[in-house]
Amino acid sequence: MHIALIRQYFDSSHGGAERYAVSLAHALISRGHRVTAVCSRANPDDIHDIEVANVSRCKWAGFMRHAAFAWRAGAAARSLGADQVIALARAWPADVMRLGDPPHWAWLRVTSGGPTEARRAMHNPRHRALLGLEEKLLTPGQIGEYVANSEMVKRQVVHAYGVMPERVHVLRNPVDGARFNPNVQTQGDALRAELGIAPDEMVLLFAAMEFRRKGLVQAARTFVALVNGAPALRTKMRLLVAGRDDATPGRAVLEAAGCADRMIVLPASTPMERCYGAANIFLLPTLYDPAANAVGEALACGTPVVTTASNGASELIKNGANGFVVADRDDAQACAAAVTQLLATERVQRSRQYVAMVHPSPSWEEHAVFWEEILTRRERDKLEKKLIVAAPHAFARRRSVDAEGALLVENSSAQAQSLIKRCGVVFDASVYEPRPDKVLKDHRGSVVARFPVQGASKPKDGIFAPSTPANAYLKVSREDPSAGPHEFDICQWCAVNGIDVMLPLAAGSDGRRSFCLSAEAPGEQLDVFIRKYCAGENYQHRVMRARVLEAVAKTTAKLHDAGVNHRDYYANHIRVALDIRGDVLITLIDLSRAQRRDAVPLRWAVKDLGALAFSLPKTLLSCTDRLRFLRSYCWHRGLETPRRKLVKMISARVAFIASRHAKVLAARERSDAVLPRQPKEHDLVPATRADLDL
């Protein structure tokens, strides 16, 4: 499998998330996969056997640089043709995204100091850009599934963005068992000897790449609280600091307490396994962390951990057994009490194996297997989704002609045959004269009847596609003997070309009349869907509206590329639904008047586009929405026609349809004056020319 990994930096020395990206790439390669790193910078020492696709950094973008990288990286990953795309940073679209970076809204709540300050921070362009990007990434349709490294992060994204819980998997950070294990005690003793630390001295370890966020000052205050609480510890305790950041703030706290000589700052090149082996306790009073890698590494080495509840890795800790979780990192007394209790627990201090076994972290081998299962399932789902879309339509036809010349064409797929039996339609002479209680419409020689499918349950919310159609619709043409079989053939042609249309079950003709039986298309009419779910101007509605119009534009382009001209391309003949993952499903219905050619001329394409524009007035779609739709349509078709010319042609077509519709309404009013009639549900709502202009 070809897998693309997106991360801004592929450099294991840059931080925990970057180290994770490099390790995951090598773990997947070791299992026989081809991996391409999509990044803006890669360390040559870390990319052995890894293909690299460079994404240029947008230096001029300022506060938009994160969005610029997200878009560029996603486009680069798509262009690779990879089977699966894993976003280890903020990027879209992707098949799976790992939520390794802190959710920005949660970060603002923690760092701002209160709701008022958090709202004030929203006016910062950088924060607004990051929040908008985060919301886009967690909106259904951009990412298939998510992987969180803690239950805390899963709860946050489910609560804040309404992500379905089943789409978020929790996978703990893996630990390299060859490096981090209880046997590091020997390396730790050697490090103690090099630093001049006596065997009977207690060592507190603080290790991080960002000292301010991870809590160096708080760790120093905890050390001071320990020394003040037990003066004898002043000469029996050390604070080791490992990392690349500036340790001056922490040293200043110790200097004020008169114990600056008890702090040792280790060189950045010191292997972490030696640090864990030398420490009695690992102290990490972090402000916020999705799940700190260092906690799992320390526990794997048998070093008990004291950390805060705002660290997702605190879920690995069982108080008193392998560490303690404190509520507030600024509560130095609580941190000191936790350290004191761990130092007094003989079992914890004497048995590193006991601490390591309380809550073991997965190995990299187990971690890679889990990722492989997710990606394999995603690949299988993609294939099944294509088959599910194509299988009901790309059917094997069963054709028969009786002695009197009556034609019957059936969809011989198992699903179609089951629906035919369950809806109770019998293909004899009675099919042309459905019972009055089944008839929905009888107009100008055309009859539409509805037959419920037995055993089908329609979902409560029509926005989601049901697993089984709830109804079958029978359309009878009393004047055209070819209409039913023609619609059946058009549906099959569309399905072969990857266009989602209503599922045709059977069609027939007796030489004078014809019929076509089809399953109910899922979802709502396009105009009804927009009015119900995305007619507002808030962010969620705008995003959903853009996704729906993009899907409709893509389907329209595929229809015309397949040489099919719908000729009744109004919004009520386009059905919109969502699948369980939130992807937009577009289904076309009522193709009885559709025509098939080798290629659809532009003027015929304009007729379809004009009909669609006429049925969606400005009360539903703005000019911006319409132009975005047209841009997407042209892009999918590769049209070189100037867009301004196309807009003029569509506007002229809309004006023609509007004038014709006005004449129909006027004639209807004159006839109603003679013989009043009841209004029908399918009557078009009159619209003015100003409402219909592009």
What is the C-alpha separation between 145 and 147, in angstroms, rounded?
7
Q: Are strands 471-477 and 446-452 parallel, antiparallel or unpaired?
A: antiparallel
Q: Which of 658, 653, 626 is nearest to 553 (CA)?
A: 626
Question: At 507, is the secondary structure helix, strand, or coil?
Answer: strand
Query: pLDDT over 90 for what percent of the chain?
Result: 44
* β-sheet bridge partners, residue 564: 596
Q: pLDDT-based confidence at 2, cuts 50/70/90?
A: very high
pLDDT at residue number 379:
82
Q: For residues 285 and 307, what is the distance between their CA atoms, to the nearest angstrom?
A: 5
Interatomic CA distance for residues 289 and 292, integer angstroms? 6
Q: Do domains 2-170 and 182-361 have the same CATH topology?
A: yes
Q: What does DSSP say about strands 323-326 and 439-443: parallel, antiparallel, or unpaired? A: unpaired
Tell me which fold the domain 524-694 belongs to. Answer: Transferase(Phosphotransferase); domain 1 (1.10.510)
Residue 185, both tokens: 């005690």
Query: Token pair of 10, please?
Result: 């592929």
Inter-residue contact 401 to 407 (CB < 8 Å): yes
Coil, helix or strand at residue 126:
helix
Looking at every residue in the chain, the average pLDDT score rounds to 85
CB-count exposure of residue 269 (10 Å: 0-12, 13-18, 19+): exposed
Q: Which residue has the higher pLDDT, 599 or 491?
A: 491
| Strands of the sheet with 397-401, listed across from one edge | 397-401, 407-411, 504-509, 514-519, 471-477, 446-452, 439-443
Band (682; pLDDT cuts 50, 70, 90):
very low
Distance CA 197, CA 641 (A): 78
For the entire predicted model, the pTM comes to: 0.59
| DSSP, residue by residue, 236-287 | TEEEEEESSS--HHHHHHHHHHT-GGGEEEPPTTS-HHHHHHH-SEEEE--S
- CA gap 237, 198 in Å, rounded: 10
Angle at 600 between CA 594 and CA 601, to 5 degrees: 125
Q: What is the per-residue pLDDT across 473-503, written as a single tens digit (0 to 9) for each?
A: 999 998 888 889 999 999 988 888 889 999 9
- How does pLDDT run across 407-450, given as a tens digit for each residue? 888 888 888 888 898 898 888 888 999 988 899 988 878 899 99
CA distances from 160 to 123, 136, 139, 165, 565 (A): 20, 13, 11, 12, 44
Q: In the block, which residue shows the tokens 């209409």?
A: 483
Q: Please, which pLDDT band fits residue 688 given cuts at 50, 70 and 90? A: very low
Model pLDDT for residues 245-290, shown as the tens digit of each residue: 999 999 999 999 999 999 999 998 899 999 999 999 999 999 999 9
Instruction: Select the more confidently predicted residue: 216 or 678.
Output: 216
Determine the topology of domain 2-170 in CATH: Rossmann fold (3.40.50)
For residue 392, report the phi and psi dihedrals to the nearest 5 degrees. Answer: -65, -25
Domain ranges of the chain: 2-170, 182-361, 394-522, 524-694
The model's confidence at residue 463, banded by pLDDT at 50, 70 and 90, is low
Dihedral angle computed from the Cα positions of residues 41, 44, 46 and 49, in that order, rounded to the nearest 10 degrees: 110
Closest of 145, 161, 66 to residue 105, by C-alpha? 161
Contact predicate 364/176, CB 8 Å: yes
Identify the CA nearest to 420 among candidates 433, 431, 436.
431
Give whole-number Cα distances, 668 to 219, 440, 657, 673, in Å: 83, 21, 16, 9
Joined together, the tokens standing for residue 201 give 């001295």
Cis peptide before 93 (omega within 30 of 0): yes
Compute the distance between CA of residue 513 and CA of residue 401 in angstroms, rounded to an integer.
Answer: 15
Q: Dump pLDDT digits (tens) for 296-330.
A: 999 999 999 999 999 999 999 999 889 999 999 99
Enumerate residues 6+ apart whose C-beta is below 8 A from 50.
10, 25, 26, 29, 35, 36, 37, 42
Helix (H) or strand (E) holding 647: helix 643-674
Over residues 205-218, the pLDDT tens digits come to 999 989 999 999 99
Whether residue 475 contacts residue 446, with contact meaning beta carbons closer than 8 Å, is answered with yes
- DSSP per residue over 452-489, as a string? EPTT----SSTTBPPSS-SEEEEEEESS-TTHHHHHHH
DSSP secondary structure code for residue 215 in this structure? T
pLDDT above 90: residue 459: no
What pLDDT sits at residue 514? Answer: 92
689 pLDDT above the threshold of 60: no
Q: Which of 153, 150, 152, 147 is nearest to 169 (CA)?
A: 147
- CATH code for the domain defined by 394-522: 3.30.200.20
CATH number of the domain at 182-361, out of 3.40.1260.10, 3.40.605.10, 3.40.50.2000, 3.20.20.70?
3.40.50.2000
